[in-house]
């Protein structure tokens, strides 16, 4: 099954990591969020993965490695180089 999703690969301060857009309920549940990170690992092997979900007002919530999640929380969403990815 092919799954398409929005994400980005970011290189910052010598670290390369991936950001993946998911439904807000995914980031609100740590068990579900960790399962999602495991699934997206096939698309971004060896990279830390951070999940981003938005509430109905468009406010982002981040889940993943705490240092990267804090960094992303201070990054404007429009500055992220979003792309569409396909996971087979």
pTM for the model: 0.93
- For tokens 């699934």, what's the residue? 39
In the predicted structure, residue 1 carries a pLDDT above the cut 80: no
pLDDT in tens, 44-70: 999 999 999 999 998 999 999 999 999
Domains of the chain, each with CATH number or no CATH: 3-87 (3.40.1350)
Share of the chain above pLDDT 90, in %: 92
Residues ≥6 apart with Cβ < 8 Å to 66: none
The C-alpha R_g of the chain, in whole angstroms, comes to 12
CA distance 14 to 5: 25
């Amino acid at each position: 099954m092919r799954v398409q999703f929005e994400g980005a690969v970011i290189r910052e301060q010598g670290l390369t990591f991936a950001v993946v857009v998911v439904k807000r309920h995914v980031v609100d549940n740590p068990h579900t969020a960790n399962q999602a990170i495991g699934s997206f690992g096939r698309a971004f092997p060896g990279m830390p993965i951070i999940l981003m979900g938005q509430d109905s007002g468009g406010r982002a919530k981040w889940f993943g490695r705490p240092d990267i999640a804090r960094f992303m929380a201070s990054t404007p969403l429009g500055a992220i180089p979003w792309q569409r990815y396909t996971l087979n």
